[in-house]
Structure 1
Amino acid sequence: MSEKRQVLIVTPSESLRTELRDLLKSIDSVASAPLMASDNRQGLELARTRSPQLAIVELSANTIPAQTLARELSAVAPDTTVVGLLKPEFFASAPSESRLLIDSLRSGFKDFLNYPVSKGELEELIRRLSSETRRSPAKLGAVFSFISNKGGVGKSTLSVNAAAALAQRYPDRVLLVDASLQLGVAASLLDLQPTSTLTDVAREQNRLDQTLLEQLTVRHSSGLHLLAAPKNPIEATRVTEEILTQVLTLGRRTYDYIVVDTFPVFDAITVALLDLTTRAYIVTENVVPTLLGAANLIELLDQLAFPSDHVEVIINRFQNLSGSLGREDIAARIGRSIDWVLPYDKRVISAANLGRPIIEYSPTFFRFRRVLAKLVDSMEEVVGHAKSNGTTLERLPAEFTQTPTVGE
């Protein structure tokens, strides 16, 4: 007996959800209890956690929200086929039906159903799309976002160095997105002078595809591709969460690794980035006010239902000094264990001032580079690549396992 297919229905209309549910119940190849969402956010979360084979999304004359959802669905649930449902009002109100349908196809819709939907039409669609999915399984890259709700913790330096280290292993397969829109520094940390930025992506949004996305990046000698932040805060206002969603969705189809540096403010853009994030790294320091902010950020992610096993905490610039917080104290302050401890190393500062990633500046035996290499090993494991150095993953090296507690 073949496995029954799970279907997700996304529409604000309760009556339409009920009608489609009853229709799907009469189809043998479909699970008897389809997933139902009244808005895009709920639909995205159901897709992330339940991975349905098919998503039916109602399209209105304003197709932008549905197109954004289609892009997000293709990123968080790549095996989900997205189909648009067109009601008669769509054709009556749409100024250019063909243009809207083409844009919807580009955003990730695979097909369309006209309302009212017949059982035979729906059965044929499910049979055809299921066959196409078996022939061409999706293989997408992973998104690694470095986040913090406080500036000055070394988040940008860490994301740039992690991306450069990945690119050294996988040249031209790593994209660094500088989504710290108001004050992006990735280009300067790599000593690059990009001729295009995310502002150009916003300008080309309607014709953006994988080829154009790659053309808008600047290549570093390590093999890293950088999509730079806007040149100033005024240009940054043109970059919306929809544009970044489009960037990450296309990026996952083009690159194996997408590393994202974010602005230390939790806003709609950060939420949109997290919706497409495979693993989030919270970067903090062993200073009480900063740790309190990290604890608040962890709680906020819980409230947003971001999977806790997709979050890792990095203590950056750690110094083993008398009176400093030890690992157990830090874990108690933030309410969870610490995943990574990166030591303070003045060479990191020197490398940043020279616009060089640490992999080009310091010998491999220095502690910061050793821990960074292990972090990159773990990122490889997420994507499914074998670790290039063949070492056993040890998240906390011995020199960090005995740190002083308060008062020692």
Structure 2
Amino acid sequence: MATATKRIVLVSTDKAFVQDCRTAFAASDLIQLSTVEKSVVELRGEIQEADSDAIIIDMDAAKLEDVEALQRITRRLEGKAPILVVTQEFNAAAVRILVQLQVADFLVKPLTTADLVRSCIRVLQGPGREQNTESQIYTFMPAAGGVGCTTLTLQTAFQLHHSVTRGASTCVVDLNFQQGGCAEYLDLEPRFDITEIENQPERLDRQLLDVMLSKHSSGLCVLAAPTKPSEMRSFNADVVVRMLDLVSAYFDNVVIDMPRTWFPWTETVLLGSNKLYLVTEMTVPCLRHTQRLIQAIYETVGREVKPNVIVNRFEQRMFENGVKQADVEEILGDHFVGGISNNYRLVREAVDRGVPLQEVDANANVINDLKRIILPEEAVATPKKQRSILDMGRTLWRKSA
């Protein structure tokens, strides 16, 4: 059966944004993009006449006249086509208004066209499909201090976010409330005020979550609290569970950076993970502690979750004294899933600049090593298979046509 073409109308006065969208959507035979280069206030009957499957409106959610114009459009459409809003404003009031107007999704500039395309795919698939799609949760836990767990957590998040096969909305959750560094590694302001919901976890809803998220220019979201090194606090498990439930409801990929310390909620997080990675180093004490950590996980959560061990700063030593790959494989057995090359200079530069590793060197050995572990299907893919992100929705559209 032939697949029907989906028609999307873009309303924007941002010429550069319009051109980027045209280029991004031109790669697909399944989407026909038409543009209305007017502000939302100037619209009259253009959207109704277009008879589109979805509408993208580029507007300023902080301007009352723009919001009123959006209200008029939603009333006229009567739910016939989902609306996706792109705005530069990102505060509690703007989020609340957009949620009340029941827009299908909203994105904040600056954003990548890949994020916009993915959002359009989800919107076109409809709310039923979105509710039935289970979030994938990747949890990283350090076997010792200073093993590079945060670096690998963030790099995994970037790889998932831009993946051809799994690329979708991605959020990093920093559960190291005392000494977490996810936000600082990306030069972002940590905005998760856990004290605001500590005694009332049910207060955390979509609007409050959006306000507390830190957003990277790539579109990657980070949920991190300001660190307080002098306070060793153990929050109620209900707070962490509520937070993770909400994040997993709105993001396709959730990547968690765990603290070394075991808390009352640690077991719940491990059980809820699709993939659990323990990060260790190539030293005898660290590998022994990794063995003990694996045993502790099995004793606590049973065999429901298998710990996968990543050896960071991995070095092949053939004729030197010290730990060799054969030793690592013997100690860890089938828990060992791969090593990450020792490239301290690259990692240090990325951290000091507050940028992802690929901005320093897109072909670095660290990136490729991690990709072979997290995205093995893409690590061996040929360039011919690197297709447009629009292709991700084709199978689903064929089934629904």
Contact 2:197–2:204 under 8 Å retained in 1: yes
The 1:199–1:307 alpha-carbon spacing in structure 2 relative to 1, beyond 3 Å, is farther
Q: Which amino acid aligns with 1:241?
A: A
- Give aligned-pair identity as a percent: 27
Alpha-carbon distance, 1:329 to partner: 0.6
Aligned equivalent of 1:390, options 374, 381, 393 = 381
Give the TM-score of the pair, scaled to structure 1.
0.56
Q: Which amino acid aligns with 1:349?
A: R
Alpha-carbon distance, 1:202 to partner: 3.2
Deviation by residue 1:293-324 (Cα, 9 ceiling, x = unmatched): 10001111111244366421100011234223
The 1:140–1:201 alpha-carbon spacing in structure 2 relative to 1, beyond 3 Å, is farther
Alpha-carbon distance, 1:188 to partner: 0.9
Aligned equivalent of 2:187, options 191, 207, 213 = 191
Contact 2:329–2:336 under 8 Å retained in 1: yes
For residue 339 of structure 1, give the secondary structure of its aligned residue in structure 2. strand
**1:317 pairs with 2:313:** yes
Aligned equivalent of 1:377, options 364, 371, 375 = 375
The 1:216–1:144 alpha-carbon spacing in structure 2 relative to 1, beyond 3 Å, is same
What residue number does 1:209 align with? Answer: 205
The 1:204–1:192 alpha-carbon spacing in structure 2 relative to 1, beyond 3 Å, is farther
Q: Distance in 1 between matches of 2:176 and 2:189?
A: 17
Aligned residues: 251
What residue number does 2:257 align with? Answer: 261
Contact 1:292–1:334 under 8 Å retained in 2: no
Q: Distance in 2 between matches of 1:227 and 1:235?
A: 19
What residue number does 1:243 align with? Answer: 239
Q: Which amino acid aligns with 1:372?
A: L
Alpha-carbon distance, 1:182 to partner: 1.2
Deviation by residue 1:347-396 (Cα, 9 ceiling, x = unmatched): 012211221110211132x2111112233415xx7xxxxx598359xxxx
The 1:136–1:273 alpha-carbon spacing in structure 2 relative to 1, beyond 3 Å, is closer
Q: Distance in 1 between matches of 2:352 and 2:314?
A: 20
Unaligned runs of 5+ in 2: 1-127, 384-401
Unaligned runs of 5+ in 1: 1-133, 382-386, 393-408
What residue number does 1:66 align with? Answer: none
Q: Distance in 1 between matches of 2:196 and 2:325?
A: 44
Quick one: higher RCO (CA 8 Å, sep 6+), 1 or 2? 2
Q: CA RMSD in A?
A: 2.8
What residue number does 2:293 align with? Answer: 297
Contact 1:149–1:265 under 8 Å retained in 2: no
The 1:292–1:308 alpha-carbon spacing in structure 2 relative to 1, beyond 3 Å, is farther
The 1:135–1:155 alpha-carbon spacing in structure 2 relative to 1, beyond 3 Å, is closer
Contact 1:248–1:276 under 8 Å retained in 2: no
Give the TM-score of the pair, scaled to structure 2.
0.57
Which segment drifts farther, 159-168 or 230-239?
Answer: 230-239
Q: Which amino acid aligns with 1:374?
A: R
For residue 180 of structure 1, give the secondary structure of its aligned residue in structure 2. coil
The equivalences for 1:100-119 within 5 A come to: none
Contact 1:198–1:228 under 8 Å retained in 2: no
For residue 280 of structure 1, give the secondary structure of its aligned residue in structure 2. strand
Q: Which amino acid aligns with 1:189?
A: Y
For residue 268 of structure 1, give the secondary structure of its aligned residue in structure 2. coil
Contact 1:196–1:216 under 8 Å retained in 2: yes
What residue number does 1:270 align with? Answer: 266
